[in-house]
Amino acid sequence: MRRRTFSTTAAALGLTAALPRPVRAETGELRFAVMRSGDRIGAHVMRFSRTGDAIEVDIDIQLKVTIAYIPVYTYSHRNVERWSGGRLAGFSSRTDDNGDAFQVDCTRRDDRLHVVTLEGEHDLPGDLMPTTYWHRRFMEAPGWIDTQNGKQTESTVTPMGSEQIVDAGGRIFPADRFHLEGELTLDLWYRGDNWVKLTFEASDESIIEYELETASPLKDPFA
């Protein structure tokens, strides 16, 4: 039977409605301006894609600090994070921290996370969360896996209540603040479940602050 004849016949019989339709991916984006003591030094961008119960997060961080127009510090981090059924399936990251190279490939093996770095490989508990922070659920994690070096890291999380914050466009809105103290020491803010701000003190004692520029996150990614 010719394809055209079959298609016409199928339509006439109402069979086309029963044929599977391609699943469209839901997409979203979070974009932050990265500020150092009030001066913009780069951007942190997260692009989300969900198909069924599979989520992929493409993360791109590009930073450059200059003095008298001369670069004195550069940082580049690319990471592709994968989730399946609400659990971390793995991630692959590549980092250049001012000339120091890092590489991490993490994959889930049942209830463990298998991690391969430039220094070797090891297994970590499967309930760790990556240090990408994009959902409030990350504050409930028993621990984290550092996406730059692949090591387990621990911090105490303290809720600090609701505050008014300002995004890069000057808009003011309430957000819940969390303070992390330990191997990770920083402050994170969430509006509902979505990450909207970050601050920490850099090694040179300057203050690094993330100002939200674009917020179109996935809806209910862990529902």
> Are 58 and 27 contacting, i.e. CB atoms less than 8 angstroms apart?
no
Task: Tell which residue, 8, 10, 47, has the closest CA to residue 31.
Answer: 47
Position 25 scores a pLDDT of 86
Query: Rounded to an integer, what distance in angstroms lies between the CA atom of residue 51 and that of residue 182?
Result: 36
Asked whether residue 15 carries a pLDDT value surpassing 50, the answer given is no
Q: What digits encode the pLDDT tens for the residues 181-194?
A: 999 999 999 999 99
The structure tokens listed for 154 are: 């621990």
The average pLDDT across 17-24 equals 58
Q: What is the DSSP letter of 8?
A: H
Asked whether residue 126 carries a pLDDT value surpassing 80, the answer given is yes
Q: What is the chain's alpha carbon radius of gyration, rounded to the nearest angstrom?
A: 21
Its sign, for the CA torsion 113, 129, 56, 44, is negative
Asked whether residue 10 carries a pLDDT value surpassing 50, the answer given is no
Q: What digits encode the pLDDT tens for the residues 39-52?
A: 999 999 999 999 99
The average pLDDT across 48-77 equals 96
What residue segments make up the domains of the chain, in order of their start? 24-216
Percent of the chain with pLDDT strictly greater than 70: 90
Give residue 112's pLDDT band: very low, low, confident or very high (50, 70, 90).
Answer: very high
Position 23 scores a pLDDT of 62
Position 11 scores a pLDDT of 42
